[in-house]
A and B are shown apart, each in its own frame.
Chain A
């Protein structure tokens, strides 16, 4: 069995700054690097959307303040152009999914918390971990640099459907290159996570004593490991189409802008791209949401002061969810001319996959029953996550059934649905996680009053953004429309667009207390001990902030992850590393 007592006497020589904070191999530093970088990308993605929301609320009007600085390709005379709008839309999606949320949930929280929660001194491959970050960052920079290419950034949607993406401007090539980097980074990361979670668990920490967060990360890593490569393959094929003149996604006989594309060899299949893309991108949805569910579970257990209800169902549901997510991808493609057998299969699997989601949500809600709920800031975020995630999940049903999808496909209903899953869903979980683990990372608490302000206004305005979208979608308003009022039925929902836009801008204002709180608390927050929330899992056994190598003494685990309010005990929590 493992005897890693050696790390108690690890060398304490001072590392130069760049080895300690820039090219660090410490999972905690890398986790913080990921979190901060991803938060910056998150803000950037949000900023793109706020500019787009101006065009949607007041089509054809010059953008105030910043319109004139955006350059002629994006905004001529301060008015966002059609190409600019499409580029912003494509980059908003790409940045949010691949550069912000996944790196936050997996790269940030996973990196920081997972080794601590399993009592490990670091990740299994520390240098590989560093490499993951240093591949992710250039990937992100390449993506952003594409804004400066002739013709601007990729503008064929975050889904980059061929042939539109193949005939698009140079920005698309940069997008593909960036994706290859991001995918490689994710692959290396997922290998590292799986090996760490399987091989580095502390003595006594059996699989069914793992905190749910670790399970969520483990399933997520498997999704990344097995679902990402097909997209990498697709990206390579599309790169070939764009750079080497091949026709993987270009059928014979295309006529673009009245010119016959006779120089193409032809014979390609546009649907091939969609299959390969969604083979990744549906599991990707669970890559976004599972770490969030992991975070929420930890916070709910800690703040209800009782064990999570149905821990094993949660674990099995997460595994089942991960497994099923590989065979539902074509429900994104019902409108591509799919026959009955195939569509029946995919809508059936889609209905089946909704069941574990329902079970997870039910477990988390029933966990509140008989609890003693502390309304701390992380708990407020976690609690409001639940109904909003429910809306996100429920609105998936009409989209998963082919018949109702005929009307709702590619409308704002879709936008509302998946944003409820990832924005009020995952992003709220991310905020919850930041407030929850901040004292572990810095040794200081974040300010509670500012936190409550942040939560309250975010909660109000985020619903103000996404709830109207469901109604717009019902009215048939299509997504990816530069000017919705151009269509008759779009004009009728223009009022809602104005409301959405104002909510989005106010949502931004609501983040100001968070930003102030974040930086103020790093230096001035109230100092706390190792376990300020009186939680049970192993990360709270390490000092705050944990030193390189994490634990002062190697933890040994004696009980399950959520032993709160055990009858007959002096305290209402029994940490995993304390002999019962």
Chain B
């Protein structure tokens, strides 16, 4: 029930957090684009881009979506979702790596 009875002070505290997160997101966006113009080798570029995107995504999920202050079952459900998401992402790896045939084109 707590979040239904949030005090004005709590809310303004929240607002300060939002603005900080906003600043961080802008900085990270600049970093993403800046790194691109460095023209790193592909592996490095992918790693950096995905790390920065993950940080940004986590900030949005944790603070804007309040995931950090949630509790209980939802973590388990999202963990399950994340697990199957990983399975999905393995799909290209297994298809590519394991095919017996050779690509003809």
Contacts and interface: CB of A to CB of B under 8 A. Distances in A.
28 contacts: A198-B73, A222-B80, A226-B80, A226-B81, A226-B84, A230-B88, A251-B105, A252-B105, A253-B104, A266-B105, A271-B95, A271-B99, A272-B95, A275-B95, A279-B88, A326-B84, A326-B87, A327-B87, A330-B94, A337-B99, A337-B100, A338-B100, A339-B97, A339-B98, A339-B99, A339-B100, A341-B98, A342-B98
A198 B101 CA distance: 48
B5 to A, nearest CB: 17
A269 interface: yes
Interface residues of A, number: 22
Interface string A327-339: 1001000000111
B91 interface: yes
A252 B103 CA distance: 10
A339 B91 CA distance: 14
A252 B95 CA distance: 18
Contacts of B80: 222, 226
Interface in A289-341: 326-327, 330, 337-339, 341
Contacts of A275: 91, 95
Contact of A342 (B84, B94, B101): B94
10 closest Cβ pairs, A-B complex: A252-B105, A342-B98, A339-B98, A337-B100, A337-B101, A253-B105, A275-B91, A339-B100, A226-B84, A326-B84
Contacts of B81: 226
A535 B80 CA distance: 35
A381 to B, nearest CB: 34
Contacts of A339: 97-100
Nearest to A343: B98
Nearest to B99: A337
Nearest to A271: B95
Interface string A242-265: 000000000111000000000000
B98 A338 contact: yes
B82 to A, nearest CB: 11
A226 B80 CA distance: 9
Nearest to A222: B80
A277 B101 CA distance: 21
Contacts of A230: 88
Contacts of B87: 326-327
